[in-house]
Structure 1
């Protein structure tokens, strides 16, 4: 009987210890990062590194407040520096952020900052930023390579909003301004690329896509840090401190309505992936784009009320894709979008 009771106790101890052993065996490769791309997320995480020297970085951790009036104490924030994507994330590798570590607490962001020194000779270093929603147990993750044989160097400067919170978007609306701050020297060099990527063809399209033969580059010269820099043109700005190096910061500038849709012509482009070639060509050639689009959605649904609901949801998803996946191209034009 005693032996049976002992076996039962051992069994329950093994069951209780299972979650701890599983969490100890988590790696970057195995983390579930689905919430990073969910429209129901309450937070948006970002890591922005500034290079100080070859092995030292000033790392800024941003948590964008998506839910209304969030409580800082409802979340547990932490970070870890790992040497590979397959390294097990152990509790001793993780450092917790407390309210005293907050550099900024604004209407839209919580911002932490840490100086991170990478050991000499270490070729790979990945920073992991984690936020745990203690109310529901949801975990948010964001990681970034500080050093890697496969990733280029990081710039020695950063872009900031007027309230000195680091710029954490993948795009900027034309006419808006940013502040730039550096860790080395007072000036930054600016290049401008006045181009736009065409809408990629649908996956089953066999016609070859057009490829631009020339790339126009406008050298805008130097400007000083800590002075607001307006980005007035629609295209791509590339900033560097040392133009002989590869490291720099690329910012895509978009029309003033982005990430929402600007006009009927843009709406026509955005239905290319749910249309036949003939349907889309007819929309492109239509004189009255609004009327042609109304007829297109009505033909698709055969019900005016369903058409209205579908239009709202479709372009809400377009906006969501633009927020999440805009990079070189608008988010809705990418594979993920």
Structure 2
């Protein structure tokens, strides 16, 4: 009887203890932008690609232009669930309360290449940060795709108050624009837009283990090219990057990187010589640059590495496929392969894990329990031209795995 009474008293205590132990696991299970693995954003086998382009309509009201690029052929809308929302931090849980389902009725435009949604959101005056996100779930295999974009944060100078569109009226969602390819700018009451052209070229980034500061250009060339009317097709002839503004006294605007007509692929043998720097010795690269006939020199270079024509062709195909993906994914005012993220992506391949924080992005290679797991961390830097400018935190500790990957490339054994 006494034992029964004691047992009755203990039961509530045990229940409370179990509940308290369960709280951390429940919290950990709640997904947020910091805990979501966004590796599919950079995968070579992604079926779709998401993008948000915000247009500022007033102080705290934004039109979210959300595009879904159809990478998968013969895509069916019902194969995916789409959600969007605005959160106040990277730690805020993504729940049914702040993620809203997008249905087929929400599609503004459905083309051969895109689904296009748009939603208007207003951020409360009391909210100091606002991050818009779109999420897609592949219902066939459970893959989750994410894309987020700051609306209000310490890392942006403000959103543009006009939109940029392809000829089919889909918002311009690429990181680059082919020279002389027309696009259209639209805004509310905007008549003239101002054009600043930067005909600049950039050096290849320093390797991950090089901790000396990179050289900084003494000056950046800029040419004011006048104004043009919005709501009419507009093309840009120069190769470099343009900054378009409605108000030259503000920091708001749109940056467009203009590129040659077969970008993101390699243009010619001179460009190919530049691009092999990541897997070449300094002497090899100097000889390639000095060669009178770049094609003959490159043919000899690839064959010398592999000692086999079939392996050489495989190496060329894989390496420049990586360059192409780096250009698609990471082009900003630099070509994608010349950015820090593009360099790491080219040499190391698509990361197994990608995690974002407000001020950084980290990539990990290898399984979570792998002995040789390596992580690259990119610090986010505030930049007037792009809200997604990242620089690699360089360290000598990265050298062993970096050289290991280069050796695999040079032996034509790199496989993704």
TM-score normalised over the length of structure 1 = 0.91
1:267 corresponds in structure 2 to: 272
Instruction: Measure the CA separation in 1 of the matches of 2:294 and 2:216.
Output: 27
Instruction: Measure the CA separation in 1 of the matches of 2:217 and 2:38.
Output: 36
Q: Which of 315, 326, 334 is the matching residue for 2:331?
A: 326
Residue 114 (structure 1) shift: 0.4
Instruction: Measure the CA separation in 1 of the matches of 2:209 and 2:90.
Output: 35
Larger relative contact order (CA 8 Å, sep ≥ 6): 2
Residue 40 (structure 1) shift: 0.2
2:199 corresponds in structure 1 to: 194
1:67 corresponds in structure 2 to: 72
Mapped pair 1:106 → 2:131: no
1:3 corresponds in structure 2 to: none
Any runs of at least 4 consecutive aligned residues in structure 1 with deviations exceeding 4 A, and if so which?
A: 20-24, 203-211
SS in structure 2 at match of 1:151:
coil
1:176 corresponds in structure 2 to: 181
SS in structure 2 at match of 1:168:
coil
Question: Using a 3 Å threshold, how does the CA distance of structure 1 residues 86 and 318 change in structure 2: closer, same or farther?
Answer: same
Question: What pairs with 1:138-287 in structure 2 (closer than 5 Å)?
Answer: 138-203=143-208, 211-287=216-292
What root-mean-square deviation, in Å, do the aligned CA atoms of Structure 1 and Structure 2 show? 2.1
Instruction: Measure the CA separation in 1 of the matches of 2:105 and 2:271.
Output: 46
- The farther-off stretch of 327-336 and 126-135 is 327-336
Instruction: Measure the CA separation in 2 of the matches of 1:30 and 1:282.
Output: 46
Instruction: Measure the CA separation in 2 of the matches of 1:25 and 1:211.
Output: 43
Question: Using a 3 Å threshold, how does the CA distance of structure 1 residues 75 and 275 change in structure 2: closer, same or farther?
Answer: same
Instruction: Measure the CA separation in 2 of the matches of 1:235 and 1:166.
Output: 21
Unaligned runs of 5+ in 2: 1-14, 343-416
Q: Which of 112, 119, 135 is the matching residue for 2:140?
A: 135
SS in structure 2 at match of 1:297:
helix
Residue 200 (structure 1) shift: 2.6
Instruction: Measure the CA separation in 1 of the matches of 2:132 and 2:211.
Output: 42
SS in structure 2 at match of 1:58:
strand
Residue 215 (structure 1) shift: 2.3
Q: Which of 79, 82, 85 is the matching residue for 2:87?
A: 82
Residue 188 (structure 1) shift: 1.1
Residue 128 (structure 1) shift: 1.4
Question: Using a 3 Å threshold, how does the CA distance of structure 1 residues 301 and 163 change in structure 2: closer, same or farther?
Answer: same
Instruction: Measure the CA separation in 2 of the matches of 1:323 and 1:150.
Output: 23
Residue 216 (structure 1) shift: 2.1
Answer whether contact 1:25 1:89 (CA < 8 A) is retained.
Answer: yes
Residue 42 (structure 1) shift: 0.3
Write out per-residue CA displacement over residues 63-88 of structure 1, whole angstroms, 9 at most, x where no aligned residue: 00001110011110011111111111
SS in structure 2 at match of 1:281:
helix
Residue 157 (structure 1) shift: 0.5
SS in structure 1 at match of 2:315:
helix
Matched residues, number: 322
Residue 201 (structure 1) shift: 3.9
Instruction: Measure the CA separation in 2 of the matches of 1:268 and 1:55.
Output: 48
- The farther-off stretch of 88-97 and 132-141 is 88-97
Residue 27 (structure 1) shift: 1.2
1:6 corresponds in structure 2 to: none
Q: Which of 28, 35, 44 is the matching residue for 1:39?
A: 44
Question: Using a 3 Å threshold, how does the CA distance of structure 1 residues 42 and 281 change in structure 2: closer, same or farther?
Answer: same
